[in-house]
């Protein structure tokens, strides 16, 4: 069964460093997302990406964050200068297969745990 894959599974970084989290969404999906979850709490929406551009972003997704789809398969989240409060589990998700009807559910990866020291 197709799945969303994320790397790295865990990254430890120093405050102020740049971090790139990588995701390979399910092939032929059209919408891509990043969510974050702080310490087993609420899952918060960060950004959605469609047709090679950001379609929506939350107030959390400030100028320190950026997303990119550098090729046909990868979808990356970059945090330019990490802060302590960026420590969280970051989940990538994708949805809606090209040519099919809108079924609504998102398919999530296993997450990348970011620890900022």
Partner 1 sequence: AQSVAQPEDQVKVAEGNPLTVKCTYSVSGNPYLFWYVQYPNRGLQFLLKYITGDNLVKGSYGFEAEFNKSQTSFHLKKPSALVSDSALYFCAVRGLSYNTDKLIFGTGTRLQVFP
34 binds partner 1 (CB under 8 A): no
Find the binding residues for partner 1 in span 46-85 (CB under 8 A). Answer: 48, 50-51, 55-56
- Restricted to residues 90-109, the positions that interact with partner 1 (CB under 8 A) are 91, 93, 95-96, 102-109
Cβ proximity of 28 and 42 under 8 Å? no
- What count of other Cβ atoms lies within 10 Å of the Cβ of residue 19? 19
Smaller CB distance to partner 1: residue 14 or 51?
51
Alpha carbon distances (Å) from 72 to 2, 59, 63, 94: 16, 28, 25, 14
Q: Does residue 49 sit in helix, strand or coil?
A: strand
Can you give the binding site for partner 1, defined by CB under 8 A? 4, 31, 33, 40-45, 48, 50-51, 55-56, 91, 93, 95-96, 102-111
């Amino acid at each position: 069964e197709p799945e969303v894959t994320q790397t790295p599974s865990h990254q430890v970084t120093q405050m102020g460093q740049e971090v790139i989290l990588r995701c390979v969404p399910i092939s032929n999906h059209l919408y891509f997302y990043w969510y974050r979850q702080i310490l087993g709490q609420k899952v918060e929406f960060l950004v959605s990406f469609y047709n090679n551009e950001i379609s929506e972003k939350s107030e959390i997704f400030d100028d320190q964050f950026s997303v990119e789809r550098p090729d046909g398969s990868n979808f990356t989240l970059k945090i330019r200068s990490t802060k302590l409060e960026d420590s969280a589990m970051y989940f990538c998700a994708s949805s809606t297969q090209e040519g099919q009807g809108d079924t609504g559910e998102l398919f999530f990866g296993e997450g990348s745990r970011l620890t900022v020291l």
